[in-house]
Chains A and B, each alone.
Chain A
Amino acid sequence: MDYRKRTGCGKLRPADIGREVCLAGWVDARRDHGDLLFIHLRDISGIVQVVFNVQAGSLYEAAGRLKEEYCVLITGQVVRRLEGTENPALETGDIEIKAAGLEIISASKTPPFPISEKAMTAGASVKGTEGVEEDLRLQYRYLDLRRPSLQKHLVNRYRIIKAARDFLDSRGFIEVETPTLTRSTPEGARDYLVPSRLHPGNFYALPQSPQLFKQLLMVGGLERYFQVVRCYRDEDLRPNRQPEFTQLDLEASFIDEEFIYELMEEALVRMFAVAGISLPRPFPRISYREAMETTGTDRPDLRFDLRLVEATDLFRNTGYAIFRKIIGQGGRIKGLIVRGKSEILSKNVLQNEYAREIVPGFGAKGMTWMRVAGGKLESNIVQFFNPGEQQAILERFQAEDGSVIMMIADTSSETVLSALGQLRLHLARRLELIPGNKYHPVWVTGFPLFEATEAGLTSKHHPFTAPDRTDFDPADRPGLLSLNSRAYDLVVNGEELGGGSIRINDARVQRRIFQALDLSEAEVEEKFGFFVRALDYGTPPHGGLALGLDRVASMILGTASIRDVIAFPKNRSAVCPLTQAPAPVTPEQLAELHLAGEGELKISGRREEDPVKRLAWVSRLGYEESERNELKKAVEAAADLAGRIEKLPADAEPVYSPSRPGNRMRPGRTASKYPGVEKKDLFRNAPAVKNGHFKVANILE
């Protein structure tokens, strides 16, 4: 058959009735009615039903051999379905193909999980991949990719990126590729390193971002650059994080913040429009400080109200000892008010869930709550506040009957903001305050340029970010901490989708920033000498931004995970179940890369040299330093023992038990619930229990 005559399965409509068509694709599902055999044929364009009639003789017999995921070529005629047999779940549900020819191009083994997502009859259920281990899907990703929903995500991801490309092209940006084998620079996260065969002991690093290269492109006069670029960060595992990810990276010269805001708002509007989402413009702006003070985070979710309220000043002279002590130690008190939800937020919920369990989980030591009824405050601590303080609380929070006020006090302002920020989100989710299908973009601006650390100062973003003024003294720590940066983050629905800044284009300012960071000239030369030298050659004012494309696509397409918008993602353990990467390499490869010594392998960081430490780690068995000598001797004795065992004749098949167990399968027993479950016996010996579960330490840091 001739593939050039092929029609897409999903494109056929009643207008095609009577047409002779040639289709190619995969058997999505089959249904045998005895004299009629139906299959769903699937290709990238969609699904169509094909019917084989018993009267067709050998054709019908051949169709009987079809199984799911066979790759087939079918010819036939488009006919209208019998009335009452239409399938509204299919775009082609009004028609079907009366088969006239069938060729099995390629048979398929039974897939390890169901792929079909469309029922063959109206109203029937589909098994789907729910309940299938994600690692199994990733191991057979080529089968997983046959699922129409995943294909749709990838197609739409492409369209989102294309929308951005087309738009940037229309604004005079050009796409330039930057190197992926580059030099390790301090970017905050750990680099993935690539050993150099030609330069023993030296390493390339995979880029965490093309930051310095794109700035050099501006020095190089390209003026408007963008790139859809893969970046790499070797960070600790988080559920929705990938070791390699894609950014829409851009940079422009002779611009200011307003240029970036206008450009990115338009780009984002076009990208969201791919999924029919209309973003309101202009995007509001909020300063870092306001975001922190009113939402407790620099990634504010503004789809719902709930703002934090300052209350420290209300309690300056309070008789409530805890508040007085915290304020005396320079601490602060803030709170938030939930209106009209006092039925859900009962005393029991507030005290036993929020004050005892949930808020301490957010890092605060405790939480104070008050309910408002009859124009008065009610709670177990109201008695400690005088009438004036109670009135001030009601006024400050603009409280009305049915409201609940929750306050957190701590000596650390960061703790108060962080805990309230998390509490705000928790309440919003629990009380269903977040409207569905609403998108609330916001620019967060006015970040501090520096953050204080125990050792000194560190850049809040990166050291190339321009300060809001250049008359600073690199030795004046308080003055430096009061500087703002010209950085901006783009946040949608509480998620940071991108960020950037106007950069420093004056080499003198850049050097003073390095001084403020306490970097010596030698250190600067060592780390980014090549870059700083470039600033001496007439650098234009410039700035840019990077957008996390996986995150953006996932948000636009509403997927549960960013892995659903990546063709071949790593799993949560940063492993590719399909290829089993990362994987060991041969000693020869290591030797070639100068990573192995002669004889025993020495892979720095991979194999712990100390046998006691090594065994302690693999068997998760810690020890005291005082035990070390004895353990070392024991391991050496085990090696001697292995030598003695090696010398004994061992010709028999191994025996792992002298008896022959006869009841491994426990005949006659059926699965049943352990009776102690009801009596909570299982928790009698538990070291820690929380909400009916064994409580354990975090699996991830």
Chain B
Amino acid sequence: MKISESENPDRLRDKKLIAPANFSVRDQVSDAGSPALEKFTALENATVVQRSLEAGAVLAGRAATAEFGFGLNGDACLKNFTSQAADLAFMADLAGEPRYAAAAGGRFGFKPSHGTVSRAGLIGLMPSLEAVGLLGNHPADVAAAMAEIAGFDGKDFSLEAEPLAGFPVRPPKTESKPVLGRPAGCEARLSPAAREIFSAGLKKLEGAGFPVREVPWPGDETFRDLHRVIGSVEASSSCGKFDGVRYGLRADSANNWNDMYLKTRAASFSTFLKTLLFQGAFFQFESYGTFERAARIRARLIREIGQLFETVDLIISPVRPETPAAESAREVDQTYAAFSLTLPANVTGCPALAFSLSGGREASDPGLQVMGGFRSDAFLLACGKRLFETLTGGA
């Protein structure tokens, strides 16, 4: 039951697609970048892969991914996207990975609203925070792909029942420009050079008639802390299935069931991921109240961000703060620091897109992120195209 079923079955004809190793591709190794799934061969295509192929896309290649797609350390999606001259790539968005990669690499990255695109076949880590993200050259490709992949899938029980409205994305009928909200202090984490590029971009938008207003913002630390509590608990829970029984790595010389678990799981995860899993275990077994409290605070933030969209149409911010690049993050703390500006969309489930302000030419380019209200994906992509064309000359 795809959104575009009655529209045009050939919308992705000959589009070259990259499916990273955390997306299942039938009969191919899909290890999700994890020792736990070393040599794991997928039995079925992920729903999004299957739907893209049915719509005419061509699988141009796979790509290594960070462990279970969390962060960009070890991720080769952007690199393969460029070397294969691809049109589209799937990228799991746990903390903002495709948006960050797009802003750094001169591409267009998109994270859909939570619960709109099937995650069946995505080897994920944080179910309530992650979404199937997309990387493309142009907003139109991403919008076309969204029209194919979004919608009901009986294999994913976390999808919303109602189909996502507004697809296929068409140009707005009015010429009126959307009102852009700029979170107070959102440039605080930028270097002077990055701040200059970002301000120039805003000026350009205002010059083109897009109204920009400052909006109150809960603070990046709150989003980071919530993501970390909820994400670590969900990761600990998700990784429970990697026990070496039915698939994946099995450690040698286990004396008994418990021993098999301990040894297998010791060898299944990197130290990087284990630090997150131990934190998740801490909240699950020793401080469950913290997890529940985080879920309450998350509800408040979802409500408050929702109220912001009653006063502005979109929220804009930079993508990449002044921290060591996400690709080089060796510790979970560093990963969270690199994604501090993209986490709000994961915590609130809102859609967000991102692109480079300099076409990937300036190393200090912080990129532009545009977040829309929950399930306003089609509107966001339509506006995103106008912003993208205004700022990049329409490439």
Which residues of A are interface residues toward B (Cβ below 8 A)? 611-612, 615-624, 627, 630-631, 633-635, 637-639, 641-642, 644-646, 648-664, 666, 668-669, 676, 681-682, 684-688, 694, 696-701
B330 → chain A, closest Cβ, in Å? Answer: 11
B150 → chain A, closest Cβ, in Å? Answer: 12
Contacts of A658 in B (CB 8 A): 114-115, 128, 298, 302, 347-350, 374
Q: Which residue of A lies closest to B350 (CB)?
A: A658
How many Å lie between the Cα of A622 and that of B240 in the bound state?
13
How many Å lie between the Cα of A621 and that of B282 in the bound state?
12
How many Å lie between the Cα of A611 and that of B156 in the bound state?
36
How many Å lie between the Cα of A641 and that of B230 in the bound state?
12
How many Å lie between the Cα of A320 and that of B303 in the bound state?
81
Contacts of B257 in A (CB 8 A): 696-699
Give the interface SS of chain A, mostly helix, strand, loop or mixed. loop
Q: Which residue of B lies closest to A667 (CB)?
A: B154
Tell which of A619, A662, A699 has the most Cβ of chain B within 10 Å.
Answer: A619
Q: Is B296 an interface residue (CB 8 A)?
A: yes
A361 → chain B, closest Cβ, in Å? Answer: 15
Beta-carbon contact of B265 and A622 below 8 Å: yes
Contacts of A646 in B (CB 8 A): 290, 293
Which residues of B are interface residues toward A (Cβ below 8 A)? 39-41, 43, 113-116, 127-128, 152, 154, 156-162, 222, 225-226, 228-229, 232, 236, 240, 243-250, 254-263, 265-266, 269, 271, 274-279, 281-287, 290, 292-300, 302-303, 332-333, 347-350, 374
- 27 of the cross-chain contacts (CB-CB < 8 Å) are A618-B285, A620-B265, A621-B274, A622-B265, A624-B266, A638-B279, A645-B293, A648-B222, A648-B297, A649-B300, A650-B300, A652-B299, A655-B295, A656-B295, A657-B114, A657-B128, A657-B349, A658-B114, A659-B113, A660-B115, A661-B157, A661-B158, A664-B157, A685-B40, A694-B246, A697-B257, A700-B256
How many Å lie between the Cα of A634 and that of B229 in the bound state?
12
How many Å lie between the Cα of A701 and that of B39 in the bound state?
30
Beta-carbon contact of A635 and B278 below 8 Å: yes
Beta-carbon contact of B278 and A634 below 8 Å: yes
How many Å lie between the Cα of A448 and that of B158 in the bound state?
66
Beta-carbon contact of B115 and A652 below 8 Å: no
Known: A619-B277, A685-B248. A697 touches B260 (CB 8 A): yes
Contacts of B277 in A (CB 8 A): 619, 621
B3 → chain A, closest Cβ, in Å? Answer: 15
Contacts of A696 in B (CB 8 A): 245, 257, 260
Q: Which residue of A lies closest to B348 (CB)?
A: A658
Contacts of A666 in B (CB 8 A): 154, 157
Q: Which residue of B lies closest to A689 (CB)?
A: B246
Contacts of A645 in B (CB 8 A): 225-226, 229, 290, 293-294, 297
Beta-carbon contact of A630 and B271 below 8 Å: yes
Give the interface SS of chain B, mostly helix, strand, loop or mixed. helix
Please list the 6 inter-chain residue pairs (A to B) with the smallest Cβ-Cβ separation, ordered nearest first.
Answer: A662-B161, A659-B115, A658-B349, A622-B266, A687-B250, A654-B295
B395 → chain A, closest Cβ, in Å? Answer: 33
Contacts of B283 in A (CB 8 A): 638, 642
B393 → chain A, closest Cβ, in Å? Answer: 35
How many Å lie between the Cα of A213 and that of B153 in the bound state?
71
A371 → chain B, closest Cβ, in Å? Answer: 36
Tell which of A634, A650, A668, A701 has the most Cβ of chain B within 10 Å.
Answer: A634
Beta-carbon contact of A634 and B332 below 8 Å: yes
Beta-carbon contact of B275 and A631 below 8 Å: yes
Contacts of B278 in A (CB 8 A): 612, 615-616, 619, 621, 631, 634-635, 638
How many Å lie between the Cα of A698 and that of B260 in the bound state?
9
Contacts of B261 in A (CB 8 A): 620
Contacts of A638 in B (CB 8 A): 232, 278-279, 282-283, 287
B108 → chain A, closest Cβ, in Å? Answer: 23
Beta-carbon contact of B303 and A698 below 8 Å: no
Beta-carbon contact of A685 and B247 below 8 Å: yes
Contacts of B127 in A (CB 8 A): 657
Known: A656-B128, A682-B246. A620 touches B293 (CB 8 A): no
B333 → chain A, closest Cβ, in Å? Answer: 8
Beta-carbon contact of A659 and B114 below 8 Å: yes
Known: A663-B159, A688-B250. A622 touches B262 (CB 8 A): yes
A656 → chain B, closest Cβ, in Å? Answer: 6
Contacts of B274 in A (CB 8 A): 621, 623, 627, 630-631, 634
Contacts of A694 in B (CB 8 A): 245-246
How many Å lie between the Cα of A639 and that of B156 in the bound state?
34
How many Å lie between the Cα of A642 and that of B281 in the bound state?
13
Beta-carbon contact of B43 and A676 below 8 Å: yes
Q: Which residue of B lies closest to A654 (CB)?
A: B295
How many Å lie between the Cα of A612 and that of B40 in the bound state?
30
Beta-carbon contact of B285 and A619 below 8 Å: yes
Beta-carbon contact of A669 and B154 below 8 Å: yes
Query: A659, A668, A687, A699: which contacts B249 (Cβ < 8 A)?
Result: A687
Contacts of B41 in A (CB 8 A): 684-685
A613 → chain B, closest Cβ, in Å? Answer: 11
Beta-carbon contact of A622 and B115 below 8 Å: no
A499 → chain B, closest Cβ, in Å? Answer: 29
B41 → chain A, closest Cβ, in Å? Answer: 6
Beta-carbon contact of B299 and A654 below 8 Å: yes
User: Told that A611-B282, A658-B302, A685-B39 touch, could you supply 19 new A-B pairs with CB distance under 8 A?
Assistant: A615-B285, A615-B286, A619-B281, A621-B262, A634-B278, A638-B282, A638-B283, A641-B279, A645-B294, A650-B293, A650-B296, A650-B300, A652-B303, A659-B113, A659-B114, A662-B160, A668-B154, A685-B246, A700-B256
